[in-house]
Structures are given as C-alpha cells and as structure tokens.
Amino acid sequence: MTFQDIFKSSFLEKTTSFSVLDMLIALALALLIGLFIFVVYKKTFRGVLYSSGFGVSLVAMSLITTFIILAVTSNVVLSLGMVGALSIVRFRAAIKEPLDIAYLFWSISVGIVLGAGLIPLALFGSALIGVVLIFFSNRRSPERQPYLLVVNCNNTESEKAVLNELDTSVGKYLLKSKTVSANHVEFTLELRLKDSSTNFVSGIASLPGVESAVLVSYNGEYQS
C-alpha cells in the first residue's frame, strides 16, 4: 500500500470530477439574476410596509437553490438523500402579499434552471418575467387605486350631504359598512378618484354635522 492509496477515496474522486468552472458560472449567474429579481421586486412593490429582508432572501434563495441542484445533478444517490432531508423543512413565515409568492417561485425556479445548466432559459425567462411584472405594475394609475373613506357624522342629513359631495368629487364609490346609533352615524366607502387630488376630504370634513373624515389607501382585493 502506497502513501497515495491511504488518502484515495470515492469522495476525493467526486471532488476532482466536479467542474469548478461550471459551479462558479452557475453561482455567479444566480447572484446576478437574484439581484435583478430584487430590483424588480423593489420597483413593483405596492404593499404597505416594504421589507428589505424579503428582497435579500430572494437573492439568497437563488444561490441556495442553485448549489443544491448542482449537488443533486452530480449524484443520483445524493439526490435521494437530499429529497429526504428537505422534506423535514417547514416554512412558517406568513406571505402578506399574493405577488410575493410569484417572486419566491421565480427565485427558486432560477436556481433550479441554472443548476440544471439551462443558462439561456434562465436569462431570457427572467428578462421576460421582469418586463411583464414592471409593465403591469406601472399600468395602475392613481385614479385606479382604491381608497377607503371613513366618515363620522351626527345624522342622516349629514350623510346625504357627504354623498352629494362625493357625486361631484370622485369617480365612483361603494358603501362597505355603516354603523348607526342614537346621535351618531359612521360609514365606510370604497371609492376611486377622478384625479390624484384628495382635496375633497377637507371639503367633506367641513360640512355641517360631519365630525371627521379619514381617507385610507386600500390594497385588498376588489372588483372594478
């Protein structure tokens, strides 16, 4: 037995047979496309509170998925063990925006495609997805953005005055809720603006019998 036979093992043989250049190219592209996903996510975000941690996790997910797929494609036995190991992983983070799920799958898909060596598909597919998301994100104008108007007034006459003011100030409105007591009326309206101006809120608040008027941006699902 020679000195080289002592250190000879199948592990070292797999290490030497693995292409370091392919690994570096795949991880470098995963980093670049992950940064592209991060930029698109930041540009198209329309939620209430922006989370930079979620954007960074998109980049990390592209890199992590890439080197996992690189390992899986190099060894069939390892792929079976990897499936069993990943089956115990549970994600507990709540997804608040439906579009965030699309970004998560985008990052994972990029890692899978790059790990499989399909570089053109990863590049052109990510470019197309980014263009589509930016296009549809920029199509929404302030007039299409839904708002909630919460009004507190003293009686039904004040409520009618508020509705008459809205007929001439906003595009359209829809009653969402209404609470009536002895000397108090509170109602919530979903509305669309005619333009980006919100000066009508001050006019409503100054109407006789109106105690307060609050305008809130609304990001929930709605029907046009």
For the segment 174-202, what is each residue's pLDDT rounded down to a tens digit?
888 888 887 788 888 888 877 777 788 88
Is pLDDT above 70 for 66? yes
User: Domains of the chain (ranges plus CATH)?
Assistant: 9-139 (no CATH), 147-217 (3.30.70.1150)
Average pLDDT over residues 28-52: 84
Q: 31-35, 68-72, 118-122, 131-135: which has the minimum mean pLDDT?
A: 68-72
**For position 213, what pLDDT does the model report?**
85
C-alpha span between 150 and 189 (Å, rounded): 7
Residue 3 has a pLDDT of 47
Helix (H) or strand (E) holding 170: strand 170-180
Specify the pLDDT at position 223. Answer: 40
Q: What is the pTM of this model?
A: 0.62
Q: What is the reported pLDDT for 92? A: 62
* Distance in angstroms (rounded) separating the CA atoms of residues 120 and 86: 28
Q: Using alpha carbons, select from 37, 100, 94 the residue that is nearest to residue 65.
A: 37
Say if residue 76's pLDDT is above 70: no
> Residue 222: what pLDDT?
41
pLDDT of residue 33: 92
Collapse the DSSP code of 140 into the 3-class scheme (helix H, G, I; strand E, B; otherwise coil) and give the result.
Answer: coil
Mean pLDDT, the chain, as a whole number?
77
CA distance 147 to 219: 8
CB 162 within 8 A of CB 190: no
